[in-house]
Structure 1
Amino acid sequence: MLWACIVLPHLALDSVLRRHPEPDKPFAIVGGHPQRRELIAVNDAAAQAGLHAGQRMTLAQAILHDFAVVEQDPREAERWQRFLAAWAYRYSSQVYAGWPDAIVLEAQGSFSLVGDWPRFEAQLRADLTALGFRHRIALAPTAHGARVLAGVRDGLAILQREHLRNALGAVQIRRAALPDDAGMRLHHVGLRELRQLFALPRDGLRRRFGQGLLDQVDRMLGDAPELLDCYRPPDTFDVRIELAYEVEQHQALLFPVRRLTADLAAYLAGRDGGVQRFVLRLEHEEHPSTPVEIGLLAAERDPALLFELTRSRLERAEIPAPVVALRLIASHLPPFVPAGRDLFDEQPVGGVPWEQLRERLRARLGPDAVYRIAEATDPRPERAWQRDDGSSADGVEDRPPRPTWLLPQPIPLRGPAPRILSGPERLESGWWDGGDAKRDYYVLELALGQRAWAFAPVGEQGNWMLHGWFA
């Protein structure tokens, strides 16, 4: 096995900045005791202005009086780590998210699908950049080894187990993610690199530092099994974004809505599924939340389509009070079946597939405004079709050709005697609902060359009633 470890050194900060409308302006996460507020994390703009993590809030305000702040939520980083585990699940069924600010996934099993490691690594980095998370990635034959290497050197890849000991040996002892405070204690006794730890007698290490240190080293080198409780994605997507200020217009909600739908698409890709119904809740300060329900005819997971549908429904919704938070909930997650495409698809550049166009029209015009016509089981021409919402059968039975243009009411056919091309087709139906019909239908060619669909009373010809035209 080969394990890829993704270290997220700024997970708490990135999880806030990715949904902040102005991430390039000075920004900080604050926490601590109410009487001793301090900065927990700052973005690049705030750091350039002289702010840094651990700084007292009063001093930071003296240096820079105008910067945005968000209260620290210890659970926020954990929620987004689980979200990224759901994203990583699209690439591997073995994902572990039990270490702070890190995710590990088994990568070798996906090489045949994604490509070799350089291509796989590039795909991971592209996804994480699009999601808005800074990261470091390393590959190693063990999960614990990959975690250590990712913490010290971005992009390192160890493919052979025999090379792992040398790579780990150069790691500083304090950065080796050893249990408890073992790294600092070993540093105090004069050890600087892991190779020095590897060379020490195991009995002495066990007496002074406990069996936990030896077990960690063995798992790191692959000499002991790694018992990881792998991640399993939940059956419901539920993400909430709290806005920095009250919003009263639809336009100001589009940025967080785009982020929410992109996160939903990433979650669905991890599950290899789609979504058919979900709800966007607009939360207000002193008013019940406003639900904006989005329904699709078929399961989808394209982020652009999900955003377009949500935006269309949101623009039609009334906002009764200022919005302070958004919450997107999706619990109906059926399997996703991609639309079939021909090998040599002649769809023009910039063209939109019919499935996406259909959903966009339904979102803008209403769910009942767009539908297709399908055959019904009633053979009477005026009742032989029905509106189709996608649940009816593709066809009910084999029938002779029907005209493209069916007249609202049959009319007498005048003019020279037509030539019969086919028929009669006997139709006898409707006795049970008062619309009894007994007709013999024919395909006729008129004197000017038109092809008509007409009927005559049963057993008679000549008294033609025109009912439709063929193209």
Structure 2
Amino acid sequence: MLWACILLPQLALDGALRRHPDPDAPLALVTGPAQRRVLRAVTAAAKAAGLRAGQSLGAAQALCSRFAAVEYDPAEVERWHDFLAAWAYRYSSLVSRTMPSTLVLEVGASFKLFGPWPRLEAQLRAELAELGFRHRIVLAPNPYAARVLANAHDGLAVTDPAPMQHALGHLPVERSGLAPEVATSLRRMGLRKLRQVFALPRAALTRRVGVEALKHLDRLRGELSTPLQYYQPPDSFQSRIELNFDVESSQALLFPLRRLTGDLAAFLAGRDGGVQRFTLVLEHERCADTEVTIGLLAPERDPSMLFELARGRLEQARVPAPVRGVQLIAHELPAFVPAGRDLFDARPQQAVPWEQLRERLRARLGDDAVHGLAVRADHRPERAWQTASESRHPVQPPPLPRPGWLLPKPVPLRDHRLRVLTGPERIETGWWDLEVRRDYYLVETSLGQRAWAFRPAGDRADAAGGFMLHGWFA
């Protein structure tokens, strides 16, 4: 087995940056009691302005008057950890998030699907960069060794136990994952590298570092089997972005909306599913929340499509008050089956598939504005068609030809050179609500057009009075 360790050194800060509209502006995470507020982490722009982690909030405000202060929330960090575990589940069914700010996944079985490790590593890095999370990645035969090696390396890949032991031996004791007091004690003894610690007799090592530290060293070398707890993706998705100011325009909600739909798409890709219905909850301060429901005819998970559909519904929603927060909730997550595509796609480059066009039209025009057609069990032309959503039982179309273009009302067909091709076909029914007694003919006009026309039942085709035009054939 081969284990990839993804270390997320700035998980809390990256999570806050993803929800900030200007990632280049100075931002700091703030923690501590009200009497002693300190900066826990700062961005590169904040560092350039003189801010440092551990600095008091008052001193930071004296140095830089314009920086965003975001409250550090451990629960929010756990939510981001869960989100990235759901994303990683796409690449392996064995994903563990038990180590803080770390994902460990078994990838040896994934090479057949995603290609060799360099290709899979590049894909992992590209998607993490797109999601906005800084990271370090290490590959090793042991998950605990991979985690410790990530403290000092990025991009290291060892696939055999012997090179792994060699790489572990070169680690400083401070980066070996041992408790700080144990690492300090070993350095005072003159033991600076792990290979020096590994060379000590076991009994003497136990007396010097203790039983727990010895177990940790055994896990690194694979001599102590410690099973991991594996992540299982939930059956629903829920995410929330709190806004720093009142928003009254739907255009100002596009940034959080894009983030939320992008996170939903990443979650769906991880569990290999789609979404058929989700809800946007717009939070207000002094009135009830506004719910905007987005329903799809088929499961989807493309981030751009989800964003466009949500945007179209949001622009039509009536918002009674300024928005202070946005939630995205999705409970209907059915299996996703990609649409079939031809090997040589004949569509123009800018054209979109019919499924996406249909959903965009429904989002813009409403659910009832776009529908299909189906046959109804009625001989009268005016009643022979219905919308596809109304059809409950399949009905066979009539055996005789019917025009593709049926006029709303019959009109006189004024042409002195009509030629009757077929007919008559008598339709006589509807005595209970709209009685029809007609003889229909397929005729050709002097211009070569084929029409569907009728006369009163019993009249000859050459009788005076002419035909009534009811439809055109293509």
- TM-score, scaled relative to structure 2: 0.91
What's the CA shift string for 1:59-115, capped at 9, x where partnerless? 222222322211111211111010000111111111111111111111122212222
Identity of counterpart residues, as a percentage? 59
Change (3 A) 1:413 1:226: same
Q: Does 1:469 align with 2:472?
A: yes
Query: Which residue in the other structure is 2:448 paired with?
Result: 449
Query: Which residue in the other structure is 1:16 paired with?
Result: 16
Query: Which residue in the other structure is 2:295 paired with?
Result: 295
Change (3 A) 1:401 1:217: farther
User: Which aligned pairs between 1:4-153 and structure 2 lie closer than 5 A?
Assistant: 4-153=4-153
Change (3 A) 1:466 1:51: closer
Once residues 213 and 391 of structure 2 are traced to their aligned partners in structure 1, the CA distance between those partners, rounded to angstroms, is 61
Once residues 391 and 42 of structure 1 are traced to their aligned partners in structure 2, the CA distance between those partners, rounded to angstroms, is 60
Once residues 66 and 56 of structure 2 are traced to their aligned partners in structure 1, the CA distance between those partners, rounded to angstroms, is 15
Once residues 430 and 171 of structure 2 are traced to their aligned partners in structure 1, the CA distance between those partners, rounded to angstroms, is 86
Once residues 258 and 352 of structure 2 are traced to their aligned partners in structure 1, the CA distance between those partners, rounded to angstroms, is 20
Change (3 A) 1:93 1:279: same
Change (3 A) 1:229 1:378: farther
User: Which aligned pairs between 1:202-281 and structure 2 lie closer than 5 A?
Assistant: 202-281=202-281
> Secondary structure, in 3 states, of the residue corresponding to 1:151?
coil
Once residues 412 and 58 of structure 1 are traced to their aligned partners in structure 2, the CA distance between those partners, rounded to angstroms, is 87
What's the CA shift string for 1:193-230, capped at 9, x where partnerless? 22222222233434554444344333323334341111
Q: CA deviation at 1:147?
A: 1.0
Change (3 A) 1:426 1:343: farther
Once residues 369 and 155 of structure 1 are traced to their aligned partners in structure 2, the CA distance between those partners, rounded to angstroms, is 53
Mapped contact 1:179–1:216 kept (Cα < 8 A): no
Mapped contact 1:173–1:192 kept (Cα < 8 A): yes
Answer with 290-299 or 208-217: which moved more: 208-217
Change (3 A) 1:428 1:182: farther
What's the CA shift string for 1:386-414, capped at 9, x where partnerless? 11249867874573332122233445667
Q: CA deviation at 1:180?
A: 8.0
What's the CA shift string for 1:399-434, capped at 9, x where partnerless? 333212223344566766965544565656546x53
Query: Which residue in the other structure is 2:192 paired with?
Result: 192
Letter in 2 for 1:310: A
Mapped contact 2:174–2:180 kept (Cα < 8 A): no
Once residues 468 and 344 of structure 1 are traced to their aligned partners in structure 2, the CA distance between those partners, rounded to angstroms, is 37
Change (3 A) 1:392 1:207: farther
Change (3 A) 1:461 1:334: farther
Change (3 A) 1:223 1:467: same
Letter in 2 for 1:273: G
Answer with 458-467 or 64-73: which moved more: 458-467
User: Which aligned pairs between 1:418-457 and structure 2 lie closer than 5 A?
Assistant: 421-422=421-422, 430=430, 433-435=432-434, 437=436, 441-446=440-445, 449-455=448-454
Q: CA deviation at 1:169?
A: 1.3
Once residues 390 and 215 of structure 1 are traced to their aligned partners in structure 2, the CA distance between those partners, rounded to angstroms, is 67
Once residues 143 and 428 of structure 1 are traced to their aligned partners in structure 2, the CA distance between those partners, rounded to angstroms, is 79
Query: Which residue in the other structure is 1:324 paired with?
Result: 324
Change (3 A) 1:413 1:50: closer
Letter in 1 for 2:302: D
Once residues 219 and 391 of structure 1 are traced to their aligned partners in structure 2, the CA distance between those partners, rounded to angstroms, is 63
> Secondary structure, in 3 states, of the residue corresponding to 2:151?
helix
Query: Which residue in the other structure is 1:374 paired with?
Result: 374
Gap runs ≥5 in structure 2: none
Once residues 35 and 164 of structure 2 are traced to their aligned partners in structure 1, the CA distance between those partners, rounded to angstroms, is 49
Change (3 A) 1:239 1:457: same
Mapped contact 1:425–1:440 kept (Cα < 8 A): yes
Mapped contact 1:297–1:390 kept (Cα < 8 A): no
Once residues 387 and 118 of structure 1 are traced to their aligned partners in structure 2, the CA distance between those partners, rounded to angstroms, is 52
Change (3 A) 1:16 1:340: same
Query: Which residue in the other structure is 1:201 paired with?
Result: 201
Mapped contact 2:374–2:391 kept (Cα < 8 A): no
Once residues 312 and 436 of structure 1 are traced to their aligned partners in structure 2, the CA distance between those partners, rounded to angstroms, is 44
Once residues 150 and 320 of structure 1 are traced to their aligned partners in structure 2, the CA distance between those partners, rounded to angstroms, is 50
Change (3 A) 1:247 1:434: closer
> Secondary structure, in 3 states, of the residue corresponding to 2:124?
helix
Q: CA deviation at 1:156?
A: 0.6
Once residues 384 and 391 of structure 2 are traced to their aligned partners in structure 1, the CA distance between those partners, rounded to angstroms, is 17
Aligned pairs, number: 470
User: Which aligned pairs between 1:146-165 and structure 2 lie closer than 5 A?
Assistant: 146-165=146-165
Once residues 263 and 228 of structure 2 are traced to their aligned partners in structure 1, the CA distance between those partners, rounded to angstroms, is 26
Mapped contact 1:179–1:212 kept (Cα < 8 A): no
Letter in 2 for 1:19: R
> Secondary structure, in 3 states, of the residue corresponding to 1:228?
coil
Once residues 460 and 187 of structure 1 are traced to their aligned partners in structure 2, the CA distance between those partners, rounded to angstroms, is 112
Gap runs ≥5 in structure 1: none
Mapped contact 1:297–1:389 kept (Cα < 8 A): no
Answer with 216-225 or 260-269: which moved more: 216-225
Once residues 424 and 148 of structure 1 are traced to their aligned partners in structure 2, the CA distance between those partners, rounded to angstroms, is 87
Once residues 242 and 452 of structure 1 are traced to their aligned partners in structure 2, the CA distance between those partners, rounded to angstroms, is 62
Letter in 1 for 2:387: R
> Secondary structure, in 3 states, of the residue corresponding to 1:443?
strand
Change (3 A) 1:322 1:46: same
